[in-house]
């Protein structure tokens, strides 16, 4: 299943992109992320790591694509046998979007959580 969500821009596109690009900033705008361990400090193809979530959940990830000019990036996330592919982008007005592909029982409950995170990401 593949679904998308978007949040309007309230911060500038440059600010929103930097919040994505600097991996250490993710817990500041994504309430479901309590910490991140990554092989590099910024988004780049091939960067790997672990996102920590509530209740000790640890999701492994690999960044698969980054386009700084277009302000888009993609990654694969894995928790045990579950796999998600996520694609993010920043619009010129600072709005942001997310497309998630994976099993419906995981994607559907994740979408509202992701939407809250995107709204936090775009706040001034």
Domain-wise residue ranges, the chain: 2-121
pLDDT tens for residues 68-109? 999 999 999 999 999 999 999 999 999 999 999 999 999 999
Q: What is the pLDDT of residue 16?
A: 98
Average pLDDT over residues 48-57: 95
Q: What is the pLDDT of residue 109?
A: 94
CA–CA distances in Å: residue 2 to residues 11, 62, 100: 27, 19, 6
Residue matched to tokens 């500038």: 12
pLDDT band, residue 8 (cuts 50/70/90): very high
| pTM, rounded to two decimals | 0.95
Q: What is the pLDDT of residue 13?
A: 97
Considering the domain 2-121 in this protein, what is its CATH number?
A: 3.30.530.20
pLDDT tens for residues 14-37? 999 999 999 999 999 999 999 999
């Amino acid at each position: 299943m593949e679904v998308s969500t978007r949040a309007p821009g309230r911060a500038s596109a440059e600010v929103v992109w930097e919040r994505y690009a600097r991996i250490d900033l993710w817990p500041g705008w994504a309430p479901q992320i309590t910490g991140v361990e990554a092989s590099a400090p910024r988004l780049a193809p091939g960067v790997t790591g672990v996102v920590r979530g509530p209740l000790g959940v640890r999701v492994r990830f690999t960044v698969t694509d980054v386009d700084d000019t277009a302000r888009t990036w993609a990654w694969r996330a894995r928790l045990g046998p579950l796999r998600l592919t996520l694609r993010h982008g920043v619009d010129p007005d600072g709005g942001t979007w997310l497309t998630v592909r994976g099993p419906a029982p995981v994607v559907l409950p994740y979408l509202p959580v992701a939407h809250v995170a995107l709204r936090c990401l775009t706040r001034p």
